[in-house]
Structure 1
């Protein structure tokens, strides 16, 4: 029986009056448009998270401005900062208290991998929140800008619904990322191979920053000319 192309939450069968509704798709669409992050900050990345919720960036446009003070009322945890090993049990408890379904955004290098606090012999920092529980979206930066957090929320919405709320817009006159990469690869493929002597000048002599032979090379040639 042939099936038709239909909206996200429904499915039609041609030649039949049967109309199926996929409830999970409908619920995911509703969840993506009403994410409730938890009021939870650990370090300097939390300052950028606060700025994202303020009026300049207006996180309410994306339906994710309702920061809840309780994990039992939240479905998104934004881990914004360094997790030390004394704080890790508290973070785990907060995650466990969040009802399903729930998602985690690792905001900043410290939340992703421990950031600059990871070195040989360090003993107090968890090297990424992924060691505690699963992470859905990673936002690199130290700290990430509010625009990066908004992009991470859009990525989470795209993960839930399969579609992006707004497409990525390329500024006029600039090629998109895929086009720019294709053009660069084409230029590299068409570029002639560099001669072997270019890197060291004529005859393998060392080359200065100005492109000529170095003083030692010139002196050697002059000395060789006098002796010969």
Structure 2
């Protein structure tokens, strides 16, 4: 019992730095040359049609749709006679999807915006995986509040609308009205593969698709679900973009 109390009082919670570096198990960008004979198999293996074959080993990846499942890489290695050149690198895709953000530091909000960044979260039809990761942003490990970011109950008080989930028919109007209720200047962040790409659930009478089919989107955060550190980096980039519009 004494040992347990000794550890409780001696251990300290280490707050995570916000970087574009994931863990050792993190699947980052897809890189390398895909064998020509494996291109069609890679495209078929992708459950969200993010992998598009162009021929001669060339391909494109739509990271807004990508869920980083690794099936395209597995298909390439299975089809090729020897190990394929296609692989997951450790490089994150967040900088690619945030090209408009000039700087990502903890000083952006205080120095450029001059006040807190206020966010309204709207679940447009998610499985709640992204929402659970959003909750983790507020714990002592990620400590979102150190950056001056706060979530509001009303879109009328928000600078940014953070959308999770594929947009369903039942929530399409709620998304549109939430956006219209926000004061100018305003930003929209599509968080996760469902809101960013819209192909996770396929086509259905109940599904509209990606958030940008209903409202203009300024930032996309890839992943299924995205990492809390990636969400925080996107929020800091949003504050940088917002400061330019004020």
User: Superposition RMSD on alpha carbons, in Å?
Assistant: 2.3
Q: Is the 8 A contact 2:136 2:228 kept in 1?
A: yes
Structure-to-structure mapping, 1:28-47, within 5 angstroms: 29-30=112-113, 34-42=116-124, 43=126, 44=128, 45-47=130-132
Cα distance in 2 for residues equivalent to 1:41 and 1:103 = 16
Is 2:225 aligned against 1:143? yes
Match of 2:208 among 121, 126, 131: 126
Contact 1:28 1:161 in 2 (8 A): no
After superposing on structure 2, the runs of 4+ consecutive aligned residues of structure 1 that deviate more than 6 Å are none
Task: Give the Cα separation in 2 of the matches to 1:159 and 1:118.
Answer: 32
Q: 2:160 aligned to 30, 52, 76, which one?
A: 76
Structure with the higher strand share, 1 or 2: 2
Deviations 1:136-169 (A, max 9, x none): 110010010101101111222333457xxxxxxx
TM-score normalised according to structure 2 size: 0.49
Which aligned pairs between 1:58-207 and structure 2 lie closer than 5 A? 58-64=143-149, 66-119=150-203, 122-161=204-243
Unmatched segments (≥5 aa) in structure 1 = 1-26, 163-228
Structure 2 Cα separation of the partners of residues 152 and 92 of structure 1: 22
Q: Which deviations, in whole Å up to 9, do the C-alpha atoms of 1:9-48 show, x marking residues without a partner?
A: xxxxxxxxxxxxxxxxxx99226x5210014334221111
Relative contact order, higher structure (CA 8 A, sep 6+): 2
Alpha-carbon deviations, 1:59-106, whole Å to 9, x = none?
112211x21111111111110112111110111111111111111100
How far apart, in 2, do the equivalents of 1:28 and 1:89 lie? 36
Residue of structure 1 equivalent to 2:10 = none
Task: Provide TM-score, normalisation by structure 1.
Answer: 0.53
C-alpha displacement of 1:54: 2.6
What SS does the corresponding residue of 2:200 show, helix, strand or coil?
helix
Q: Structure 2 stretches of 5 or more lacking a match? A: 1-109
